[in-house]
Amino acid sequence: MKRAYYSSEISDFISESPNEILGTLNKAHEFSLEEQQRNAWIEQIDLLQESLKGLTGKVYFEYSIPRVGKRVDVIVISGNALLSIEFKVGADHHDSYAHDQALDYALDLKNFHEGSHHLDIFPLLVATHAKMTKCAPHRFDDGVWTVTRSNSLELRNHIDSILKISKGPVVSIKDWEKSGYKPTPTIVEAAKALYSGHQVSDISRSDAGAINLSTTSEALKKIIDDSIAKKVKTICLVTGVPGAGKTLVGLDLASSWNNPAANQHAVLLSGNGPLVEILQEALARDEVKRAKFSSPIKKSVALAKAKSFIQNIHHFRDDGLKSEQPPHEKVVIFDEAQRAWNLDQTSKFMKTKKGVPNFSKSEPEFLIELMDRHQDWAVIVCLVGGGQEINTGEAGISEWLHAIKEKFPEWSVCLPKTSSLQDIPNLEQFINSFQGESQVIPHLHLTASMRSFRSEKVSDFFSALIEKDTLTAKKLYQEIKDRYPLKLTRDLSDAKEWIKQKARGNERFGILASSGAGRLKAHGLDVKGRIDPVMWFLNEKTDVRSSYFMEDIATEFHVQGLELDWTCLAWDIDFLLSLNNPTKFRTFAGTKWNTIRNEADQKYLKNKYRVLLTRARQGMVIYVPLGDNTDATRLTAAYDEIFSYLKSIITD
């Protein structure tokens, strides 16, 4: 794929006619060219043709950054430096939003473009009419430098200063250009990119260390094609470790196969209310923003379109109760299918909330029944993660398999070859017991976590920590600590300051805690306080309701299926891990802690912390309060036990 609209050796760029360069840019532009964009390009060309005289290297205009679905205005490679330049033509000041944008592009190249991993990268923000500024960038540990602020008059001087301080060998431009781009987007970034027309191959890793998500997506599309050709109904289970990209696969399938003009209807369904609302809002905001360059669209219209792409599974279920007709969609993708309700929970809900007595189906059975109403073919894709059931009544994958075996044996079944899920005992025997056609497809299991692009072993580390497998946890910590920063502290202010120092550009951060962390309230962390997940996850740094302010606390219910770059996890004594004593599982009610004795409820609490510990892509700080012996609900010894256990593994 040609990543830049225009690229050329610097010497050829300087001698080329500005009109010819503009023509190349215009030809590659995705939308009709606006006068403002045309004028901006003209000024950039004129300025760079003057500012790059005498330099060797190469220049690139409008270089694609697939992960964020945007383009860097200009990249210049000269000597041993890469300059990522963001222009604000006509601006008389360097605003903070543009500053963070320039830094984001540099970080994206550093983290996800293979040829840029070991380069010094210098982000420049050029506000053409701004006041004079000094060029005094400093270097972060990873080789990205702080943003240099420039204007038209100073640009050449700043470039010269940068080339003098850059470190490392001369860049091989040929190798840089052919090197791979291996992005690891957040689920919000992925949804926006896919919804706007990107392919999953544009925004997913392609290294040999993990099954390519494109392979899984293609396998699912082939299953759909086969189901149509054979006129059969098929259910597929896509499994994987936390953060492996299961939801991204679902988003890709829903976006690529949903084509109303061709009478193709697909939808991603999730019982995760915050995730659905956040993705719908993010898609709507993004479409409104992109439509400014072509055909403006109202937010309400964009939101309605987004809701046809991703929906709340409960709305889908309730529509099925109201009508005996088959659903509009013939391909449905159930995200986090392991969280579907078992028979008892479904019956209780139907009786108390829907006025349907004697409802005798589990949620998986009823959802399969809805799709079974189609006369010819239908496809269900279940995206299944292990160890993330966090609510009473969540059945796990076994309930889906049981429903297929007992009620829908005529359905064709596609299962992964391997699975790391603990709640599928004797999987091969289960497969062999199906009366209908079944297939085992290796590409339906994703083995490597992509949530933390810094280290694939982060989820394994936290799993060992939670299970008190200390030997494994200590070994894994030594393997991840240099790439995935972890900090322990007893001081909340220290925790907040650490995160602020680590986060750069628009990297998102926030404070998390268990919904059962009832005594963090004494430290100003109220997990019972109402937050708006959409604003918490999507709003900008200037909004006090956003995660950036670290005032509102998100729980496992707000963040499951989502991720941040950096997190602070506030650890209460509801889940009391200890070096020398058995783990204590507790819930706070009224004025005291009560012991959780039910094994299923203990598992849910453990999974809450599993979810919370695996939300950070780049690093995290764990805050354990000091406690207070004058308060019987916050005894110092209990918090000390947790801290001592964590400290025995997370060492400096």
Residues 391 and 372 sit within 8 Å (Cβ to Cβ): no
Residues 382 and 238 sit within 8 Å (Cβ to Cβ): yes
Record the tokens describing residue 416, joined without a space.
Answer: 């992964």
Record the tokens describing residue 206, joined without a space.
Answer: 């392609």
Q: What is the CA radius of gyration of the chain?
A: 27
Residues 133 and 150 sit within 8 Å (Cβ to Cβ): yes
What phi-psi label fits residue 70: left (phi over 0), alpha (psi between -120 and 50 degrees) or beta? Answer: beta
Neighbouring-strand partners of residue 619: 566
Which comes out higher in pLDDT, residue 438 or 368?
Answer: 368
Global confidence as pTM: 0.82
Q: In whole angstroms, give the CA distance from residue 44 to residue 333.
A: 46
- Quick one: how far is CA 264 from the chain centroid? 27
Record the tokens describing residue 24, joined without a space.
Answer: 């190349």
Crossing angle of helices 363-372/397-407, nearest 10°? Answer: 50
Nearest to 586 by CA among 637, 597, 606, 594: 594
Among the ranges given (8-12, 267-271, 386-390), the one the predictor scored with the smallest mean pLDDT: 386-390
Say what the pLDDT of residue 635 is. Answer: 97
Q: Is the pLDDT of residue 423 over 50?
A: no
Say what the pLDDT of residue 141 is. Answer: 87
Residues 7 and 58 sit within 8 Å (Cβ to Cβ): yes
Q: Is the pLDDT of residue 100 over 80?
A: yes
Q: Is the pLDDT of residue 422 over 60?
A: no
Provide mean pLDDT across the span 479-485: 92
The C-alpha angle 386, 397, 226, rounded to 5 degrees, equals: 110
Helices (H) and strands (E) in the chain, counts: 23, 21
Which residue has 């540099």 as its token pair?
106
**DSSP single-letter state for residue 425:** T
Q: In whole angstroms, give the CA distance from residue 379 to residue 510.
A: 38
Among the ranges given (104-113, 352-361, 419-428), the one the predictor scored with the smallest mean pLDDT: 419-428
Residues 445 and 417 sit within 8 Å (Cβ to Cβ): yes
Digit-coded pLDDT (tens) for 374-396: 999 999 999 887 555 555 556 56
SS (H, E, C) 273-338: HHHHHHHHHHHHHHHHHHHCCCCCCCHHHHHHHHHHHEEEHHHHHHHHHHCCCCCCCCEEEEECHH
DSSP states along 579-636: SSS--EEEEEETTEEEE---HHHHHHHHHHHHHHHT-EEEEEEEE-----TTSTTS-H
Q: Is the pLDDT of residue 90 over 60?
A: yes
Q: In whole angstroms, give the CA distance from residue 468 to residue 472.
A: 9
Say how many C-beta atoms besides its own lie within 10 A of residue 398's C-beta. 16
Q: In whole angstroms, give the CA distance from residue 128 to residue 93.
A: 9
Digit-coded pLDDT (tens) for 581-628: 999 999 999 999 999 999 989 998 999 999 999 999 999 999 999 999
Say what the pLDDT of residue 247 is. Answer: 84
Q: In whole angstroms, give the CA distance from residue 74 to residue 621.
A: 36
Residues 472 and 459 sit within 8 Å (Cβ to Cβ): no
Digit-coded pLDDT (tens) for 455-478: 678 888 999 999 999 999 999 999
Across the chain, mean pLDDT equals 87
Say what the pLDDT of residue 387 is. Answer: 53
Say what the pLDDT of residue 31 is. Answer: 64
Digit-coded pLDDT (tens) for 568-580: 999 999 999 999 9
Q: In whole angstroms, give the CA distance from residue 262 to residue 489.
A: 56
DSSP reduced 3-state for 145: strand
Among the ranges given (15-19, 246-250, 396-400, 427-431), the one the predictor scored with the smallest mean pLDDT: 427-431
Digit-coded pLDDT (tens) for 325-368: 999 899 999 988 877 888 888 888 888 888 888 888 888 899 99
74: enclosing H helix or E strand:
strand 70-78
Say what the pLDDT of residue 420 is. Answer: 45
Say what the pLDDT of residue 618 is. Answer: 92
Digit-coded pLDDT (tens) for 187-207: 787 777 777 666 655 555 444
Say how many C-beta atoms besides its own lie within 10 A of residue 599's C-beta. 9
Q: Is the pLDDT of residue 19 over 70?
A: yes
Confidence of residue 452 (pLDDT cuts 50, 70, 90): low
**DSSP single-letter state for residue 226:** H
Q: Is the pLDDT of residue 112 over 60?
A: yes
Q: In whole angstroms, give the CA distance from residue 304 to residue 343.
A: 33
Digit-coded pLDDT (tens) for 63-84: 987 665 678 999 999 999 999 9
Residues 204 and 217 sit within 8 Å (Cβ to Cβ): no
Say what the pLDDT of residue 336 is. Answer: 83
Say how many C-beta atoms besides its own lie within 10 A of residue 609's C-beta. 21
Which residue has 């300087």 as its token pair?
14
- Residues of the chain with pLDDT > 70: what percent? 88
- Quick one: how far is CA 244 from the chain centroid? 10
Say what the pLDDT of residue 348 is. Answer: 86
Looking at mean pLDDT, say which of 162-171, 386-395, 491-500, 554-563 comes out highest: 491-500
